[in-house]
């Protein structure tokens, strides 16, 4: 199998929502107490939007992101990703949808320390039957896209926090996702570096048609987002 020669993320934009969350609840039982991590959440995200989830710790931002990305399931309610009702999917089918449609960016970067930047970017597809040379070309192109063409052979231990996060962004794009989920993407960065990362996420939306949903406490992220969704006590305000 070879990788398509199109732009790294594609630009097929339609009016159909990439994310449609309806009446989603997430309940946890702690002893005799029921904790409401998410309360009747409704969220629609259209192609090319940069949506920022804001709220204090415990407001439900990460829970909502995890449910959208299939890292968790709602107690009740529906989650439709790119036209697919995820409630109808088995775990393996959901994993396949996640692999093909969703890219993840974490505040702790989650890079492999003994791999180079380009190998970290290749990692999601490294054990699949893709043409190795095409995969390497795409990984290099993505590192150029995020401004790291000069750091392709460096390991994460030899990179700054901002460079590590930009490597993680490049990695999140390797599978041509329609949706990027970013959990506190600037939390471990200084203000200037965080602003650079946020502008990069904004440019992915405006130039490549990628949809981004990010959770954050950082007002810099909100300033660059196309829409801010505020959360409190598990509910969308």
The 8-class DSSP code of residue 160 comes to -
CA distance 81 to 104: 15
- Tokens 């300033």 -> residue: 223
Residue 119 CB: number of other CB atoms within 10 A? 18
Residues 6+ away with beta carbon under 8 Å from 197: 162, 165, 166, 169, 185, 186, 189
d(CA 85, CA 103): 18
Instruction: Pull the structure tokens for residue 182.
Output: 């970013």
The domain locations on the chain are: 47-72+90-236
Backbone angles phi, psi at 81, to 5 degrees: -115, 120
Phi/psi at 229 (nearest 5 deg)? -115, 120
Q: Residue 179 in contact with residue 19, Cβ under 8 Å?
A: yes
Q: Where are the alpha helices (DSSP H) in the chain?
A: 61-69, 91-101, 117-122, 132-145, 161-172, 191-208, 219-224
Say if strands 50-54 and 211-216 run parallel, antiparallel, or are unpaired.
Answer: parallel
Architecture of domain 47-72+90-236 in this structure: 3-Layer(aba) Sandwich (3.40)
User: 38 forms bridges with which residues in the sheet?
Assistant: 26
Asked whether the whole model's pTM tops 0.85, one would answer: yes
- Per residue of the chain (237 residues), what is the pLDDT tens digit? 444 444 444 444 457 899 999 999 999 888 888 889 999 999 999 999 999 999 988 899 999 999 999 999 999 999 999 999 999 899 999 989 998 899 999 888 999 999 999 999 999 998 888 889 999 999 999 999 999 999 999 999 999 999 999 999 999 999 999 999 999 999 889 988 999 999 999 988 888 889 999 999 888 888 889 999 999 999 998
Measure the CA–CA gap between 12 and 210, rounded to whole angstroms.
Answer: 9
Sign of the dihedral defined by the CA atoms of residues 112, 118, 121, 125, in that order: negative
Cα–Cα distance measured from residue 148 to residue 141, given in angstroms and rounded to the nearest whole number = 10
CA pseudo-torsion sign 218, 223, 225, 228: positive
pLDDT at residue 109, as a whole number: 92
| 8 A C-beta contact, residue 201 and residue 177 | no
- The residue count for the chain: 237
């Amino acid at each position: 199998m070879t990788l398509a020669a199109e732009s790294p993320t594609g630009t097929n934009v339609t009016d159909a929502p990439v994310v449609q969350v309806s009446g989603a609840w997430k309940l946890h039982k702690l002893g005799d107490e029921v904790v409401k991590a998410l309360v009747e959440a409704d969220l629609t995200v259209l192609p090319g939007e940069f949506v920022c989830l804001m709220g204090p710790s415990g407001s439900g931002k990460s829970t909502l992101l995890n449910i959208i990305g299939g890292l968790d399931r709602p107690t009740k309610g529906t989650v439709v990703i790119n036209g697919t009702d995820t409630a109808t999917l088995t775990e393996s089918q959901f994993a396949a949808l996640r692999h093909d449609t969703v890219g993840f960016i974490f505040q702790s970067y989650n890079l492999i320390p003994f791999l180079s930047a380009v190998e970290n970017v290749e990692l999601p597809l490294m054990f699949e039957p893709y043409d190795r040379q095409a995969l390497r070309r795409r990984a290099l192109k993505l590192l150029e896209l995020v401004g790291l063409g000069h750091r392709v052979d460096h390991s994460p231990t030899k990179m700054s926090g901002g460079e590590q996060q930009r490597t993680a962004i490049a990695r999140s794009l390797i599978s041509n996702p329609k949706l990027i989920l970013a959990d506190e993407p600037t939390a471990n960065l200084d203000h200037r570096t965080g602003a650079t990362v946020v502008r990069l996420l904004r440019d992915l939306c405006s130039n490549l048609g990628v949809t981004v949903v990010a959770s954050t406490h950082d007002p810099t992220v909100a300033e660059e987002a196309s829409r801010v969704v505020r959360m409190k006590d598990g509910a969308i305000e």
